[in-house]
Amino acid sequence: MTTTTAGAPPVLVEQVTRRFGDVTALDDVSLRVDAGEIVGLLGPNGAGKTTLLSLLSGLRRPDSGTVRLFGGDPRDPASRTWLGTTPQETGLPETLKVREVVDFVAGHYASPMPRAEVLARFGLEELVDRQTGGLSGGQRRRLAVALSLVGRPRLVLLDEPTTGLDVEARHVLWEALRDYHRDGATVIVTSHYLEEIEALAERVVVVGGGRVLADDRIDRVLDLVALRRMTLTLPGDATSGRSALHGLDGVQDVVDAVPAVAGTRFTLLAADADAAVRALVAARLPFHALEVRGASLEEAFLALTTRGTTGVGAGVPSPEVSR
């Protein structure tokens, strides 16, 4: 039995490793989240986000390291009285009415949020007498997120809260979460949508391959994702092409060079793709088959970690990415 203390941070994860068979889902992860923060956990599928949340909500235990929730072990139910989570997917009991699901969850807490308030925060008042099986996907999703607040938690964990929602429903949810955060709660939200993290979070923790790749303010991570990925073919070998491309205006990095039919195919990351294209033309490089597209989050993470060695910020443990 552990004791939860008011002074302890909502989340304290120290050197946690968790494996599933041969797969290392979390590899020596440490993370501290203080009261009142709103943190986005960002990373591709399989990066370890959900595993981390399952450790925080007491569903699983780490293979090594410690996980603390307000100073207590999350596997002890008493430590979870300040925790709010949300059912994954649309897993609600289909035959129960909205009113009943809320009351059922409320029955687990000593002083829950009144049902009317829960429903009002998420615009669900009209649906109170409907069975959850009859709700639309978006309505179910809203109810699922609403359930995370029923116990008046001081820490809310949300795993992909708006997956599959339309724009309007997404904004309703975000507003409700921001409201609750303003009331003083700590919020951790995972997503692989940058937009979602941008709308909600002040601090972003990027995970990939089971590691914390970056832990920084939202604006610094956003700069990275403004990167564009350019591919083009130049005659000649990789070495000569690289040296020609490296110094160009707007080009941040040459990340790949593979032999192609008429020379070498290069992949670049550009902070300013327009400038890079103008520079390519100005340098009279005989390029062809140019493609420009937005860098994927994964590429942004990669860039983030390789730049980490040149000082993007604290919390960048290693440039290693598993995929």
Partner 1 sequence: MTATTDRAPAPGPRAALRPPLAVAWLHARYQFVETLRVPIAVLGNMLFPGLALLFFVIPQRAVADDPVAATAAVGQLAVFAVLSACLFTHGAGVAEDRALPFDGYLRTLPARPGPRLAGRVLNGLAWAYLSLIPLALIGWLLTAATLTWTQALGAVVMVVAVAVPFTLLGLTIGYSMTTKAALAVTQVTVFPLGFAGGLFLPPQMFPGWLDALSRLLPSRAARDLVVQVTTGADAPAMAVPVLLAWTVAFGALAVWAVRRDEGRRFH
From residue 162, give the alpha-carbon distance in Å to each of 94, 126, 199: 20, 21, 12
The CA-atom distances, in angstroms, between 223 and each of 12, 28, 159, 243, 275 are 28, 27, 24, 25, 16
Q: Is 60 in the site for partner 1 (CB under 8 A)?
A: yes
Q: What share of the chain is helix, strand, coil (3-state, %, to 5)?
A: 35, 30, 35
The contact mask relative to partner 1 for 4-23 (x = CB under 8 A, - = no) is: x-xx----------------
What is the x/- site pattern for partner 1, positions 216-245, by CB under 8 A? Answer: ------------------------------
By CB atoms closer than 10 A (0-12, 13-18, 19+), residue 249 is: middle
Verify binding: residue 109, partner 1, rule CB under 8 A. Answer: yes
Binding segment for partner 1 (CB under 8 A), chosen from 73-81, 167-175, 241-249, 295-303, is 73-81
Least CB distance to partner 1 at residue 63 (A): 10
Tell me if 25 sits within 8 A of 62, measured CB to CB: no
Residue from 15, 91, 116, 283 that binds partner 1 (CB under 8 A)? Answer: 91
Closest separation between CB of residue 96 and partner 1, Å?
Answer: 6
Measured distance CA(153)–CA(166) in Å, rounded: 27
| Alpha carbon 152 to its chain's center | 23
> Which of 23, 78, 116, 289 is the binder for partner 1 (CB under 8 A)?
78
Q: Does 265 bind partner 1 (CB under 8 A)?
A: no
Give the phi and the psi of residue 11 in degrees, each rounded to 5.
-130, 125
How many CA atoms does the CB half-sphere of 49 hold within 13 Å?
23
Residue 35 engages partner 1 in binding (rule: CB under 8 A): yes
> Which residues contact partner 1 by CB under 8 A?
4, 6-7, 32-37, 57-61, 70, 77-78, 80-83, 85-89, 91-93, 95-96, 100, 104-105, 107-111, 131, 147, 151, 154, 183-186, 203, 215, 315
